Amino acid sequence: MTKKLFTSLLLIMSIHIATAQPSQTIKGIVTNKVTSLPMQFAEVSILNTQPLIGSVTDSLGAFTLQNVPIQRFSLLE
């Protein structure tokens, strides 16, 4: 019984690892173009991703986008 369970778990984990897509984490700070002050609670997102990848900046203007596919993206001002 234990051997069957172990084999099943190993198979499920190997399938998950084999189908996993490489991804990256993008971190940054959003600042006001004129004053250079951090933009609090600004929405940051990557367009044309399914599901939409996005975040909101914190009180210091910092954001983190996780599980971003590895490819080139264009930034908008």
Strand-strand pairing, 43-46 and 53-56: antiparallel
Total domain count for the chain? 1
Closest to 32 (Cα-Cα) out of 52, 57, 55: 57
Does some domain include residue 13? Answer: no
* Domain assignment present for 10: no
Q: Is the pLDDT of residue 5 over 60?
A: no
pTM, entire model: 0.69
38: left (phi over 0), alpha (psi -120 to 50) or beta: beta
In a domain, 32, yes or no: yes
Q: What is the pLDDT of residue 68?
A: 92
What pLDDT is attached to residue 49? 86
Residue 24's closest CA among 49, 56, 61, 58?
49
**Is residue 5 situated within a structural domain?**
no
Q: Residue 7 belongs to what H/E stretch?
A: helix 2-19
Residue 15 belongs to some domain of the structure: no
Contact 44, 29 (CB under 8 A): no
Q: By residue range, what is the domain housing residue 34?
A: 22-77
47 has a pLDDT exceeding 70: yes
Tell me the pLDDT band of 73, cut-offs 50, 70 and 90. confident
